[in-house]
Amino acid sequence: MSAKSTELEIASKLLEIGAIKLKPQEPFTWASGWKSPIYCDNRLSLSFPEIRTFIKNELAKAIKSNYPEVECIAGVATAGIPQGALVAEELGLPFIYVRSKPKGHGMENMIEGKVTPGQKVVVIEDLVSTGGSSLKASDDLIAAGFKVLGMAAIFTYGFDLAKQNFESKNVRLVCLSNYSAMIEKALEIGYIKQNEVDTLKDWRQDPANWG
Contacts with 70 (C-beta within 8 Å, 6 or more apart), sequence order = 63, 64, 91, 93, 120, 121, 122, 149
Consult the annotation and say whether 43 binds a ligand: no
**Positions of E strands within the chain:** 20-22, 28-29, 35-36, 38-40, 72-76, 95-98, 111-112, 120-128, 147-156, 173-178
- State yes or no: 134 annotated in a binding site: no
Three-state SS at 75:
strand
What is the DSSP annotation of 10-53? HHHHHHHTTSEEE-TTS-EE-TTS-EESEEE-GGGGGG-HHHHH
Residue 57 has a CB neighbour count (10 Å cut-off) of 13
Annotated binding-site residue? 180: no
169 known member of a binding site: no
Residue 172 assigned as binding residue: no
Query: How many Cβ atoms are within 10 Å of 29's Cβ, its own excluded?
Result: 11
Residue 133 known to bind ligand: yes
201 annotated as ligand-binding: no
Report the number of secondary-structure helices (H) and strands (E) in the chain. 7, 10
Residue 47 marked ligand-binding: no
CA distances from 147 to 69, 74, 139, 141, 186 (A): 11, 11, 10, 8, 38
Has 127 been labeled as part of a binding site?
Answer: yes
**Is there a binding annotation on residue 99?**
yes
* Amino acid identity for residue 7 in this structure: E
User: Residues at the annotated binding site for orotate?
Assistant: 129
User: Residues at the annotated binding site for 5-phospho-alpha-D-ribose 1-diphosphate?
Assistant: 99, 103, 105, 125-133
User: Residues at the annotated binding site?
Assistant: 99, 103, 105, 125-133
